[in-house]
Amino acid sequence: MLDIKFIRENKDIVIAGAKKKRIQVDIDRLLELDDERRALQLSLDEGRSKQNQVSKEIPSADQARRDTLLLEMKTLKETLTAQEEKMQQVMQEWRALMVQVPNVPDISVPEGESDADNVQVRTWGEKPVFTFEPKNHVELMLFNDMADFERGAKVAGFRGYFLKGAGAKLAWALEQFVQNRFAQKDFTPMIVPSLVRREPFVGTGYLPQSEEDLYKTQDSDYLAGTAEVATMGYYMDEMLEKKDLPLKFFSYSACFRREAGSHGKDTKGLVRVHEFMKYEQVVLCEANHAESVKWHEELTANSELLLQELKLPYHVVVNCGGDIGLGQVKKYDIETWMPSENTYRETHSSSYFHDFQTRRLNIRYRDEDGTVRYAHSLNNTALALPRILCQVVENYQLQDGSIQVPEALRGYMGTDVISKRS
């Protein structure tokens, strides 16, 4: 959430930012409501002050004066009640518009409508050259008895899956690999809830805009699609100390997404599923743009290093205005090579938000001089399973349908090659 003072003083910048993100919000109406809100608040404050003054005067007044004051109090109370009711109406619409106002994207964010307009920043690795027609991950995993999609759909419905045999072992190997790499870094590991109350979703910007993509329980709680939501809620409504920043978390949760807007996309296999697992990097740092940029680059580099150790070719793109969310100032996607599709597919996303999320979540810290500020927040995927399995098995496939195990995972797998007999 942006500060209303910032919106008032930078109306044109906020409108331009919303336009760049292709988000429609009526800033003029918001400012009209804010004028009304402020006028009502002033009138209410004056009325309550007058009410207090009259209340103090009544006990010492003579009967005639007391009758006059009591009549005045009755009229004043009726006026205040009407104004309070009006204030509730105004605030309801004001709040609804405030949570729709997007964060202002960084000047380096390119113009564009969709992910097709994202701009490549860099590439890494050599794409594999096959002397045969490469199979896709579904064919490879079925051939090597690593997954069962038919029974997955029978048990869990559309996009359901089982990982089995070497498929399960490969997933566990990737988890152990990533866990061990982050154990060498100064991140606090956390296992966080998947079942989360509404407030952290609103705070992180997933509600109200993305409600259709969330699973909701009969108790009006939600299942999270990323460990970011619960991790950001950890310090909700708390005051931190600057000396404790940055706070860095390596968070895990099971994740769930309805994929409501993806009808007809990636209907087979593991690229787009309803239930998955994620390890997420989350950082809270001081309210400084340069600090946010520094951590954004460092979190991105952490994920790149994992892919480099796995020797998976990838490129990094900076997302265009139409392909970043409500709260993000800037976002990188890391996309890893998919031989069967002859293209890169997203495996990691890295974003920073300034104080957009922390203002909503009321996460503050006290500076050295006692000034209270909202912290800045960032997040980045460390590992998303089972999606990364697609790139691993496709890039490491052999002509006979077996799959080489990446060197970085062999110690966890206990084998160099996955075959039907694995």
Told to judge if 37 belongs to the known catalytic residues of this protein, a careful annotator would answer: no
Q: Which tokens in the block code for residue 114?
A: 């969709």
Considering 210, 262, 346, 419, which one is annotated as catalytic?
346
Told to judge if 257 belongs to the known catalytic residues of this protein, a careful annotator would answer: yes
Q: Quick one: residue 55, left, alpha or beta (phi over 0 = left, psi -120 to 50 = alpha)?
A: alpha
CA torsion angle for 101, 204, 177, 246 (degrees, to 10)?
90
Let me know: does 389 contact 352? Beta carbons within 8 Å: no
Decide: helix, strand or coil at residue 298: helix
Separation of alpha carbons 188 and 110, rounded Å = 34
The rounded radius of gyration (Å) of the Cα atoms in the chain is 27
Q: DSSP character for 406?
A: P
Considering 66, 181, 272, 366, which one is annotated as catalytic?
272
> Residue 176 to residues 145, 171, 179, 279: CA-CA distances in angstroms?
22, 9, 5, 11
Instruction: Say which residues have a Cβ less than 8 Å from residue 87's Cβ, sequence separation at least 6.
Output: 37, 40, 41, 44
Considering 159, 228, 253, 257, which one is annotated as catalytic?
257
> Residue 79, Cβ neighbours under 10 Å: how many?
15
Helix 289-309 with 166-183: angle, nearest 10 deg: 140
Considering 303, 349, 350, 351, which one is annotated as catalytic?
349
Let me know: does 337 contact 312? Beta carbons within 8 Å: yes
Closest CA to 259 of 158, 334, 174, 179: 158
Told to judge if 198 belongs to the known catalytic residues of this protein, a careful annotator would answer: no
Residues with a known catalytic role: 257, 272, 346, 349, 387
